[in-house]
Structure formats: C-alpha cells, structure tokens
Amino acid sequence: MKYTEDHEWLRVEDDLIVVGITEHAAEQLGDVVFVELPETETQVTKGDDAVVIESVKAASDIVAPVDGEIVAVNDDLADNPGLVNEDPLGGAWFFKIKVDDMSQLDGYMDEDAYKEMIS
C-alpha cells in the first residue's frame, strides 16, 4: 500500500486503486456519522474533492489521489458510516479508481515513511 500526506491509503488491485483513510485519520476524526461518496463513472483529477466525511468533531474532504475514473464506491458506508472507525484499513474503503497513469503513485509514501510522518 501507499500513503498520502492527507492520511489516505492506496491499495493497487490490477489497474485500479482502492482508496480509504488510515487508522490515524479515523482516530483523529472521532465517531463518523455521515459519508458522502462520489458517483461512479465520474472523472477526477488528482486533488479534486471526492468524498465528504462528517464526524462528531468535524467535516473533512477526501481528495482524489490520482487522475482517473471512479468505477466503484462502497455503498456500505451510506448505511453504516461508523465502519470508518471500526475497520478503516479494510471494509471502510471509499472508492475504486481506474487510474490514467500508475506512475502517479510514485510520489506517495510506503508504510514505514507514513509511520515516521505520524510519529
């Protein structure tokens, strides 16, 4: 997996990138009460707002980490936004994006670098 400075995790699955937030981010947010996901077939550019998360503490945006097309969203989060707190690295992924250029991942951190950043 790769990690962004915005506390997103990126997992490569063939030509798709699965996007979620890290445990650290979920802890910082507090109890998540609402998640607004993007529409599938939406074209996004790196840095575009893609997801809105509301918690008891704050509202936050998750940005698209790469250029591409949103091809799947995790509808489970609409019914159970607390899944973000319960399983941030697994069942609480937000969306899958078909990437235009996989080399865009090269600038992101590996797990060791991410752990160092949050320590």
Residue that is written with structure tokens 């899958």 in the block: 96
Who contacts 86 (Cβ-Cβ below 8 Å, separation ≥6)?
92
Round to whole Å and give the CA distance between 29 and 109.
21
How far apart are the C-alpha atoms of 91 and 26, rounded to whole Å? 13
pLDDT tens digits, one per residue of 8-62? 999 999 989 999 999 999 999 999 999 999 999 999 999 999 999 999 988 999 9
In the chain, the domains with their CATH numbers are 2-100 (2.40.50.100)
Q: Is it the case that residue 90 has pLDDT exceeding 90? A: yes
Can you tell me the distance from the alpha carbon of 83 to that of 105, in angstroms, rounded to the nearest whole number?
A: 26
Residue 38 φ then ψ, to 5°: -75, 165
